[in-house]
Structure 1
Amino acid sequence: MFESRKSGILLHLSSIPSPFGIGDLGGDAYRFIETLASAKQTLWQILPLCPVDASGSPYQSTSAFGGEPLYISLDLLAQEGLLSKEEVEDAKQPNFPYTDYAAARELKIPFLQKAFQEFLCKSPPAEYNDFLEKNNYWIDDYAIFMAAKAYFMEQRQQESEGLCKFLKETQMFLPEEMGRAYYDSACWCSFPEDLRQRKLQALKEWRDILKEEIQWEYFLQYLFHKQWHQLKAFAHEKGIQIIGDVPIFVSYDSADVWANQEAFQLNSLGFPRVVAGVPPDYFSEKGQLWGNPLYQWKYHEQTSYQWWICRIKKALEDVDILRIDHFRGFESYWEIPFEAVDARSGKWVKGPGVKLFQKMEKALGELPFIAEDLGIITQEVRKLREKIGLPGMRILQFAFGDDKNNAYLPHSYDRNTVVYTGTHDNNTTIGWYQNATEKEQDHFRRYMNVTGESPNWDFIRLAFSSSAQVAIVPLQDVLGLGEEYRMNLPGTVKGNWSFTFQWEMWNEGCLEGLRYLSFLYGRNSG
């Protein structure tokens, strides 16, 4: 897949500086791409672009196909004439020090609604109708799902006894906190029965009732995809490919599950019977209880994996390369009872294995995938990855300690590898070094023959010099930032997904360091 040695930066779109609370598809994103090109990097890795949940996580989304509306650039809408340039300029704040999702919604949604009303006053351009026609296999279900959620959310905010009634009607034990979360979020499992079960007459009636709200959802997705593909084209002009991210699982409260209930392990009331997670590991002594519903793999096999083929086809239209999150789950996944309080009571269950990838390759051609093969990796998982021919991942932060032949140490790599100093789930490298044990620090210093004064650049040099065909570095490590700037702490809900860099953090030393190491270790031939 990678014909030459490459390197790049890991940074999510939300982390780009913004006067509206969240990074977007406007000028600063273009400036970031130009900066990457100036630093002689050829890869930009992002997290999923799909709608985020209430905490800002892109891994618990209402859609595996849609885009997050908050990423839409108001400046670009003003340039199109859908908004007033003066009003947009007046609304700008000083660049936020971190991603603030609540502030972003408060600032941006009223402008997006204004743009929508302006859009309705005109004849839709041909590209709008083309977009809807091309994406009708997912966007119709997504739009009515989001419109219905908003409708019932507004209704339920006015109800006082609704939660008790809902919990009684389910005739199923749910912890009060969980039940309240399902109800207060207007989860699809609390839709009226005929809509929950997607009866044809109900779908027709609700499409009429929610006609304008559905048009609103169409509009947002049209804007997001238009602006994203313009940015992607600019990246290609600068010689940069984009690495996207496909979570193996989808959120329970999503259009994906509501529209494809037979594809998931649900009970007669629509609740998951079992959910996803991982057993105790490096990140958590109790494991991680993700809560995503698990796939009904027999159904997917019987339908020739069409849902997966559609999902990957759409993803590869949006990015160039895909990191397949939790790859080991395709060989075996950790199945946890729905009522469990943590992940320790789960068990391993066999996944679809190579059959899924063979079907995808037959339908889509070569699969430009990176397998996220971290955690508890068995020989069976390794064989699956090797049979498909995918590069695996190695994390330098996992390399140091007791084992001198640790698989994460560069002298253990094969060429078909993508090496990271750390990922979005790791501490920054400076944070890692400051929190590492004395034994880990000593091993690190001796392995590289360094003092440990600049562990971030020591790691970048180690990654770039390795035999791995691709080296990826989180921007925090390039900028030399501490643990307060990490993106996510697995197993926690609050305080994540908020890292935002500032342009003043960059200096010529950062750019020159990347350029120098890229040339020195053959990761850029330009």
Structure 2
Amino acid sequence: MNLPRRSGILLHPTSLPGPFGSGDFGRDAYYFVDWLFSARQSLWQILPLCDIGTGNSPYMSPSAFAGNIFLIGLEALRDEGWLKNEDLVPCTSFEKYRINFPAIIDFRTSRLKLAAGRFFETADETSKRSFQAFCLKSGFWLETYALFRTISEIHGPIWQTWPKPLARRDPVAMASFVSQNDHEIRFWKFCQWCFYRQWDALRAYAYSKGIDIIGDIPIFVSLNSADVWANPELFDLDDSGYPRTVAGVPPDKFSDSGQHWGNPLYNWKKHADTRYDWWIKRMKHMMDMHDYVRLDHFRGFQAYWAIPADTGIPARGKWMNGPGSDFFEAMKKEFGSLRFIAEDLGVITREVDELRKQYELPGMRILQFAFDLNPANPYLPYNYDHDTVVYTGTHDNDTTRGWWNSLPEQNRDLVRRYLSINGEWINWDMIRAAWSSTAAIALTPYQDILGLDSSGRMNRPGDKTGSWEWRFDWEQVKSWPSGYLAEMTEIYGRTYSRQ
């Protein structure tokens, strides 16, 4: 990619303020776009927008294509006439700075069901035609997803335990189930229609302000997903539909013991036999939604860590060859220009680096990893190539202030001397280091703009609870940071215009 100097903010929409327990595509998302514009930022990076799964993680979604229905702005549904003011009285369990997932799931699901019922009873012909057109356009994934979610509501989320005819997608059993549960199936389709209408409108607003969206595609999908249920031959499963091997990583900078993600691994030979048809559909879907796409766990395309499913111990895994250049040749043939950012963190070999450079994909550098007293450390700014996206930290890192508070003194001393600082404003010092670097793109989590400590951390890799819950409130946003960041962006040549 031809990468001009740019900068932006990493913030998932669930972390936005709002009256209904978590951020969504409502008015606060538009306020945030206005904040980005005032700070002269041209990029907004988000986490996967797909439905959440185990542990409320967007990386364990029940669908690689369906959007997170809890991001649907409820006030917009009221404005359409499908909800009433009395439906939108916030729950007393909602919190300003944390997402109470059980509370928002109950509240938002009940409101979406009210809206769906009124839509199918009262919607005008224009809205109905729009819904029908969306169902037709998205049918290749929507039908399976809506059916999967409906069966899950009745028989539980683990599809291997469903009645065998449904687990094995017997056509007669499926047709009978659809005829008996059409109302519920239509509800899930309605939610997806609302999600994509609102996302398209928000993205268009961001575009009008000169802001591009960087999306995020998890390399793996959840075992309990519509994708695995509908395409078991594309995954490394046994005859009962359970994985033989699962995904994870060996020990790295994020975890001393490695990580056990639990996702089923791909049967890459089957994908190659179809010339990566499922992946091409998935990539097209993602590129239609975003301007750039971060490829999560890029090194897994070259080689991936396979953990025996019967042990679940990361240290007992082994490296297996991924599809490599064959995969990216298929993507290039289909799409031409590849608007991908390679998440090349963790155990990176020469082969992984060569694969990334072969397809001219920018890699990632994390400033929090830079100060280990090794002058050859690739995360130190003087070692960057231009085709680099630098972050103060990612959603998997602690906040910069939290990182600084736990950093050993000898490393702190190096940071102070390297940046010529005293550490009092460490979050802004690190942002300045990123913005002033030679990396083409510089990004920082919004937590670092706010100067939050570890209480603002988004994810703790390896911990099964407590992640993905952080959100902010506008009272935390002072008046000066947008102007300060705008000035820094201008000084370091990161102002950007499409013209």
SS in structure 1 at match of 2:55 = coil
User: Which residue in the other structure is 1:236 paired with?
Assistant: 207
User: Which residue in the other structure is 2:248 paired with?
Assistant: 277
User: Which residue in the other structure is 1:346 paired with?
Assistant: 317
1:90 shift after superposition: 3.4
| 1:32-71 equivalences in 2 (<5 Å) | 32-71=32-71
User: Which residue in the other structure is 1:476 paired with?
Assistant: 447
Q: Which amino acid aligns with 2:421?
A: V
8 Å Cα contact 1:263/1:299 also seen in 2: yes
Deviations 1:22-49 (A, max 9, x none): 1011000000001100100000000000
8 Å Cα contact 2:6/2:496 also seen in 1: no
8 Å Cα contact 1:275/1:290 also seen in 2: yes
User: Which residue in the other structure is 2:287 paired with?
Assistant: 316
User: Which residue in the other structure is 1:129 paired with?
Assistant: 132
User: Which residue in the other structure is 2:478 paired with?
Assistant: 507
* TM-score, normalisation: structure 1: 0.92
Distance 2:219 2:3 in 1: 27
User: Which residue in the other structure is 1:485 paired with?
Assistant: 456
8 Å Cα contact 1:324/1:370 also seen in 2: yes
User: Which residue in the other structure is 2:151 paired with?
Assistant: 148
1:209 shift after superposition: 2.0
User: Which residue in the other structure is 2:8 paired with?
Assistant: 8
Given candidates 299, 302, 306, the residue that maps to 1:331 is 302
| 1:411-426 equivalences in 2 (<5 Å) | 411-426=382-397
8 Å Cα contact 1:286/1:342 also seen in 2: no
8 Å Cα contact 2:392/2:434 also seen in 1: yes
Distance 1:42 1:118 in 2: 39
| 1:51-130 equivalences in 2 (<5 Å) | 51-84=51-84, 86-91=85-90, 96-122=96-122, 123=125, 125-130=128-133
| 1:144-293 equivalences in 2 (<5 Å) | 144-153=147-156, 186-293=157-264
Larger mean CA deviation between 31-40 and 102-111 belongs to 102-111
Given candidates 429, 436, 443, the residue that maps to 2:407 is 436
Distance 1:202 1:91 in 2: 41
8 Å Cα contact 2:68/2:195 also seen in 1: yes
SS in structure 2 at match of 1:125 = helix
Q: Which amino acid aligns with 2:367?
A: L
1:525 shift after superposition: 4.8
8 Å Cα contact 1:24/1:73 also seen in 2: yes
Gaps of 5+ in 1: 154-185
8 Å Cα contact 2:45/2:215 also seen in 1: yes
Deviating above 3 A after TM superposition, structure 1's stretches of 4 or more consecutive aligned residues are 88-95
User: Which residue in the other structure is 1:183 paired with?
Assistant: none
Distance 2:282 2:54 in 1: 23
Deviations 1:262-315 (A, max 9, x none): 000000111101101000112222210101000000000000000000001001
Distance 1:218 1:406 in 2: 49
Deviations 1:227-261 (A, max 9, x none): 11110110001110000100100000000100110
SS in structure 2 at match of 1:386 = helix
Q: 1:525 to 1:22 in 2, by over 3 A?
A: closer
Distance 1:91 1:422 in 2: 33
* TM-score, normalisation: structure 2: 0.97
Distance 2:54 2:235 in 1: 23
SS in structure 1 at match of 2:246 = strand
User: Which residue in the other structure is 1:138 paired with?
Assistant: 141
Deviations 1:154-212 (A, max 9, x none): xxxxxxxxxxxxxxxxxxxxxxxxxxxxxxxx311111111111122222122112211
1:484 shift after superposition: 1.1
User: Which residue in the other structure is 1:158 paired with?
Assistant: none
Q: Which amino acid aligns with 1:126?
A: R
Q: Which amino acid aligns with 1:360?
A: M
What's the C-alpha RMSD, in Å, of the aligned pairs?
1.3
SS in structure 2 at match of 1:291 = strand
Given candidates 405, 427, 443, the residue that maps to 2:398 is 427
Distance 2:393 2:233 in 1: 37
User: Which residue in the other structure is 2:381 paired with?
Assistant: 410
Gaps of 5+ in 2: none
Distance 1:95 1:19 in 2: 9
Deviations 1:378-406 (A, max 9, x none): 00000000001100000000000220121
8 Å Cα contact 1:25/1:72 also seen in 2: yes
